[in-house]
Amino acid sequence: MMCFDYRDEVLHAEGVPLSAIAADVGTPVYVYSKAAIRGRYRHFAEALGPDALVCFAVKANSNLAVLRVLAEAGAGFDIVSGGELVRVLRAGGAADKVVFSGVGKSAADIRLALEAGIFCFNVESEPELRRINALAGELGRVAPVALRVNPDVDPKTHPYISTGLSENKFGIPIERAPAVYRQAAALPHVRIRGIACHIGSQLLDLSPIGDAARRLVALLRTLQAEGISIHHLDLGGGVGIRYRDEEAPSPEDYARAVREALDGLDIPLVFELGRAVVGNAGVLLTQVEYLKIGEGKHFCVVDAAMNDLMRPALYNAYHEILPVRRRGGDSAVYDVVGPVCETGDFFARGRELAGVAAGDLLAVMSAGAYGFVMSGNYNTRPRVPEVLVDGSAYTVVRRRETLDDLLSLENTG
């Protein structure tokens, strides 16, 4: 895992021992590597070429410091809410490099984006198109739009993160798209800019991406024949990462698959990459509270829980779990579980751990994407801090919540 390695048997983030962060900040805590984030983004940007707008999918990790690292590296941003737009702008991102996706854009969200002057709305339904047109008219603006089409391509991923099949809620059926583009062309307050699609997340097989791109090219040709100009193709993202033993596509593999599918078509491209940029740039540190030894099963009870990292409970997702201090000792098989009062509160089942004891620190790896952003306060558990490591230094970029923080929003009626 890039920028996380053992030195003198202690797991480090860049030049900082994770044990030092835990001693200073406490556990649980998310730790991110600035070098890993910046390096991974630049790797994709270089592979995809200088004319591509490579957007970071803010839903993967919306911490302001993470967004600032990416903005400074030249990233655009893919958002799905007005709140994410405010985060991008506060972090120094450029509004004219923002694409706005999502099936449920509210009127307030659309107004905010119009006033900011974003690059493009990825429109997901005909009612949304009409709403954008009406709101743009009220504000005296012309809204740049692309239709997010649903190409009905099987992404071969987990059903919860599949977005490109006809049964999914996302996008406009590709067969319907020409008619909706004709509607858009007749509206006075929108300007057609592109065609967009996104078929799913954690994609390890690139062939569905190529299939979707070819269907977009065919749609482009149809629209051009009708006199409708298209100025960019937004091919989404969804490139997978290694959590366990997967063979994840490289940025070069991804770029090659896209180029082959476009078959020489010269048009600006937009990409929306999230997990592929930050997934392996973060870990969740947790401390062992108890080893609970049963007759048929052993439990390693840690202080992090499903409210801190939901992916295992939600998707049965695999995350590697490593000791922060590596030492010898007999191995045993444990379910690694948290303190939340749910059977689904686990990080691993049947996982072999060597020499683990109460008080030890464990690192839940590959937690930089869809970790903190999906966390909550179930069981009145304050959300954990986030730390950004830069070389031999680190900064707390979000403090730990307190119970007073949580209760301050409520009253007794």
Whether 302 and 362 have beta carbons less than 8 Å apart is answered as yes
- The H helix count followed by the E strand count for the chain is 12, 21
Which residues fall within 8 angstroms of residue 85, CB to CB, at 6 or more apart? 79, 95, 98, 100, 109, 112, 113, 116, 118
Of 134, 131, 72, 123, the closest CA to residue 100 belongs to 123
Whether 272 and 237 have beta carbons less than 8 Å apart is answered as yes
Phi, psi of 9, rounded to the nearest 5 degrees: 70, 15
**Is 341 a catalytic site residue?**
yes
Of 353, 347, 348, 316, the closest CA to residue 333 belongs to 353
How many Å apart are CA 329 and CA 355, to the nearest integer? Answer: 4
Token couple for 409 = 């929003």
DSSP 186: H
DSSP 203: B
Q: Which amino acid is at 60?
A: A
Of 394, 393, 392, 386, the closest CA to residue 31 belongs to 386
Which residues fall within 8 angstroms of residue 86, CB to CB, at 6 or more apart? 112
For the chain, helix, strand, coil in percent to 5 are 35, 30, 40
Q: Are strands 53-57 and 98-100 parallel, antiparallel or unpaired?
A: unpaired
How many Å apart are CA 358 and CA 301, to the nearest integer? Answer: 9
Q: 54 forms bridges with which residues in the sheet?
A: 271
Catalytic pick among 3, 120, 300, 341: 341
DSSP, collapsed to helix, strand or coil, labels residue 270 as strand
Compute CA distances 145 → 122, 148, 236, 276, 339, whole Å.
6, 9, 15, 26, 46
How many Å apart are CA 337 and CA 349, to the nearest integer? Answer: 8
Q: 408 forms bridges with which residues in the sheet?
A: none
* Catalytic residue numbers, as ranges: 341
